[in-house]
Structure 1
Amino acid sequence: MAENKKSLVKVHSKLTVVSSRPTGPGKTHPLSKLDHAMALHTIHIVFYYPTNPFLEADLATLRVSLSELLCSYPPVTGRLTRRPAKDGQSGGGGGNNSSSCCWMVKCNDAGVRMLRAKVGTTLDEWLRFASGSDERDLTVWEDMPDDPSIWSPFCIQINDFEGGGLAIGLSCSHMHADQTSATLLVKSWTELQRGEPISQPPVFRRPTPDSTPSPENHTMLSQFYANKSKARASSRKMESATFRFSDSKMKQCLSKIRVKCPNATPFDALLALFWTRVVKLNPRVEQNHTHNLSVCIDSRKLIHPPLPIGYFGNALHFSRLSLDSEKLASFGLEHAVEIVHNHLARIKEAESCSVLDCFEWEKGEEVEAYEQPFMMYGPELTCISLEHMIIPGGPKGSTASESLIYEAMFRKDEKPVHVSYHVGNVEGEGLITIMPSLEGGLGRTVTVTLPEDQIAKLRDDQALLDMYPTMLMNGGR
Structure 2
Amino acid sequence: MTNHHKSRVNVHSKLTAVSSKPFGPGKTYPLSSLDHAMGLHRLHVIFYYGQSPFSAFDLDPLRVSLSEILSSYPKVTGRLNRDKVGNWEIKCNDAGLRILRAKVETTIDEWLRLAVGSEERDLTVWEDMPEDPNTWSPFLLQITDFEGGGVSFGLSCLHMLADPASVTLLFKSWIEAHHGQPITHSPSYDPLTNRGQPVPCTTNTKSSNYYANKANAQAPSVKMSTATFKFSNSVIKQCISGIHGEFPGATPFDLLTALFWTRVACLKAPKYDNKHSLSICLDFRGILQEPLPYGYFGNALHFSQLSVTEAELDCNCLGALAGLVHRHVLGIREEEIWSAIDWFESQKGEGGKYAAPFRMYGPELTCVSMEHMILGDESLMYAAMFDKETKPLHVTYHVGNVEGEGLIIVTASPEAGLARTVMVTLLEEEIDRLCEDQAIMQLKPTMLVSGGR
Q: Same fold (TM over 0.5)?
A: yes
Query: 1:165-221 CA distances to partner (integer Å, 9 max, x unpaired)?
Result: 000000011010000000000000111112212111000114542125555665332
What is the Cα deviation at residue 362 of structure 1?
7.6
Give the equivalent residue in structure 2 for 1:309.
Answer: 294
Give the equivalent residue in structure 1 for 2:145.
Answer: 160
Counterpart CA distance in 2 for 1:142 and 1:4 is 14
C-alpha distance 256-64 of structure 1, shift in aligned 2 (>3 A): same
C-alpha distance 452-326 of structure 1, shift in aligned 2 (>3 A): farther
TM-score (norm 1): 0.90
Counterpart CA distance in 2 for 1:235 and 1:287 is 22
Higher helix proportion: 1
Counterpart CA distance in 2 for 1:350 and 1:36 is 21
Which range moves more in the overlay, 195-204 or 439-448?
Answer: 195-204
SS in 1 for 2:391: coil
For residue 224 of structure 1, the aligned residue among 201, 207, 210 is 210
Give the equivalent residue in structure 1 for 2:169.
Answer: 184
- Contact 2:43–2:397 (CA<8 Å) still a contact in 1? yes
Which range moves more in the overlay, 51-60 or 216-225?
Answer: 216-225
Give the equivalent residue in structure 2 for 1:408.
Answer: 384
What is the correspondence of 1:44-443 to structure 2 with a 5 Å cutoff?
Answer: 44-55=44-55, 57-85=57-85, 91=86, 102-205=87-190, 206=192, 208-211=194-197, 218-283=204-269, 285-325=270-310, 327-329=312-314, 332-361=317-346, 363=348, 371-392=355-376, 400=377, 402-443=378-419
C-alpha distance 9-319 of structure 1, shift in aligned 2 (>3 A): same
SS in 2 for 1:463: helix
SS in 1 for 2:345: coil
Amino acid at match of 2:48: Y
The percent identity for this pair of structures is 57
- Contact 1:286–1:326 (CA<8 Å) still a contact in 2? no
What is the Cα deviation at residue 331 of structure 1?
5.1
- Contact 2:231–2:421 (CA<8 Å) still a contact in 1? yes
Which range moves more in the overlay, 265-274 or 216-225?
Answer: 216-225
What is the Cα deviation at residue 56 of structure 1?
5.3
SS in 2 for 1:433: strand
Query: 1:214-234 CA distances to partner (integer Å, 9 max, x unpaired)?
Result: 556653322211111111110
Amino acid at match of 1:456: D
Query: 1:88-126 CA distances to partner (integer Å, 9 max, x unpaired)?
Result: xxx3xxxxxxxxxx1100000011110000011100000
Counterpart CA distance in 2 for 1:307 and 1:234 is 36
Give the equivalent residue in structure 1 for 2:36.
Answer: 36
What is the Cα deviation at residue 364 of structure 1?
8.4
TM-score (norm 2): 0.94
Counterpart CA distance in 2 for 1:208 and 1:38 is 20
- How many residues align structurally? 449
For residue 425 of structure 2, the aligned residue among 449, 454, 458 is 449
Any stretches of 5+ residues in structure 1 without a counterpart?
86-90, 92-101, 393-399
Give the equivalent residue in structure 2 for 1:396.
Answer: none
C-alpha distance 163-413 of structure 1, shift in aligned 2 (>3 A): closer
Query: 1:2-48 CA distances to partner (integer Å, 9 max, x unpaired)?
Result: x9963410000011111111101211111001100001101001100
- Contact 1:238–1:449 (CA<8 Å) still a contact in 2? yes
Query: 1:284-306 CA distances to partner (integer Å, 9 max, x unpaired)?
Result: x5345322210001100111210
Give the equivalent residue in structure 2 for 1:94.
Answer: none
Counterpart CA distance in 1 for 2:315 and 2:260 is 14
RMSD: 2.2
